Amino acid sequence: MATRVVTAMDVTLYLFFLLTLTALVEAAGRGVNNDNKGGLGASFIFGDSLVDAGNNNYLPTLSRANMKPNGIDFKASGGNPTGRFTNGRTIGDIVGEELGSANYAIPFLSPNATGKALLAGVNYASGGGGIMNGTGRIFVNRLGMDIQVDFFNTTRKQFDGLLGKEKAKEYISKKSIFSITIGANDFLNNYLFPLLSVGTRFTQTPDDFIGDMLEHLRDQLTRLYKLDARKFVIGNVGPIGCIPYQKTINQLNEDECVDLANKLANQYNFRLKNLLEELNKKLPGAMFVHANVYDLVMELITNYKKYGFKSATKACCGNGGQYAGIIPCGPTSSLCEERDKYVFWDPYHPSEAANVIIAKQLLYGDIKVISPVNLSKLRDM
């Protein structure tokens, strides 16, 4: 019997086959067709500039981040700006990665947001957007939460076409997570904004305004529930009185924050938690998870050295005032050398380094920061 000589070409082809097979297995493990209980289906992201992945690129708006050096550390784009309001990944990006999403949730307004690309998830978030429809009108255009839910309704119909009605419903209700990060702009660019809020602040007390916010949010979350959303995570409003913009325009010391802004955030946050507890009892099969972003960010600001940061007051990228907190990040901005040493990337938004710490707490933290379950457990429910 003839003996076949194994050549270098044979070895090369065999190794190539193994590498290809390994890659396919890994892709299947993270892919959108994964039938394992622990797999994440789609990541649906709603909110404002904290999680905008590029929707505002497609709007005639003053709220944009599609210019350098934004995105300088975003590896997926080779360091080019994508419309994310940070130097790298948003919290939504990081959470999706950790939970096993095949790709980043694609911006709804992107021309590529069609077909199977939707199955990994869709991002509806918009810089300047808020719970209230009037929020952010200073930016001319933005997508408020009502419009974002309207857009999800469009996506929901597309899923029926992609998977069939029965599988689409199961994929969305049992495998997918709905993330909502919104509310800060309703204070910063609505109730507290001097040029826009005079009438509102004369006619509405803070309690009344917050009550309106929560009634609108209740309706928006209920609409999503009626479209088969079941797994929700809702972030509360962070310490908006401590961002570089607020510190700069109010000429505060490093260890000071704007008391009124933080007081309003805490009033809203207390009532938000009560709303989510109510919805958990009222809407069968739903799980509304409360993410305590306020305490997570305040911890980073207060004990920044403990986490390896050099500054929790100054924007890494920005201009104007003591904390570079007036002019948003752009090509003419000053830029810090050690971007991973700053809690804040620009006058308003955390750096990727801060986002990683926050995201890991949301994924694996205890009930002090995320309740009633963390996101790794929510995925597997």
Q: Phi and psi for 126 in degrees, rounded to 5?
A: -145, 125
Provide the pairing of β-strand 177-181 with 317-318.
Answer: unpaired
Residue 307 has phi, psi (to 5 degrees) of -100, 10
Phi, psi (rounded to 5 degrees) for 342: -115, 130
Give the angle 280-281-286 at the CA atoms, nearest 5°.
Answer: 40
d(CA 155, CA 281): 27
Annotation says 216 is catalytic: no
Indicate if 35 belongs to the active site: no
User: What residues are paired with 289 via a beta bridge?
Assistant: 233
Indicate which residue of 73, 93, 186, 346 is catalytic: 346
Structural contact between residues 50 and 90, judged by C-beta atoms closer than 8 angstroms: yes
The DSSP code sequence of 130-164 is -SSTTTTGGGS----HHHHHHHHHHHHHHHHHHH-
- The CA dihedral of 288, 294, 99, 39, to the nearest 10 degrees, is 0
Closest by CA to 124, choosing from 155, 162, 159, is 155
Q: Which residue has the tokens 């910063």?
A: 188
Residue whose structure tokens are 């003591």: 322
Specify the length of the chain in residues: 381
Name the catalytic one among 43, 49, 63, 126.
49
**Residue 62 CB neighbours (<10 A):** 15
Biggest CA–CA distance in the chain, Å, is 98
Catalytic residue, candidates 101, 186, 349, 351: 349
> What helix, strand, coil percent values describe the chain, rounded to 5?
50, 10, 40
DSSP state for residue 113 in the 8-state scheme: -
49 catalytically annotated: yes
Active site amino acids: 49, 346, 349
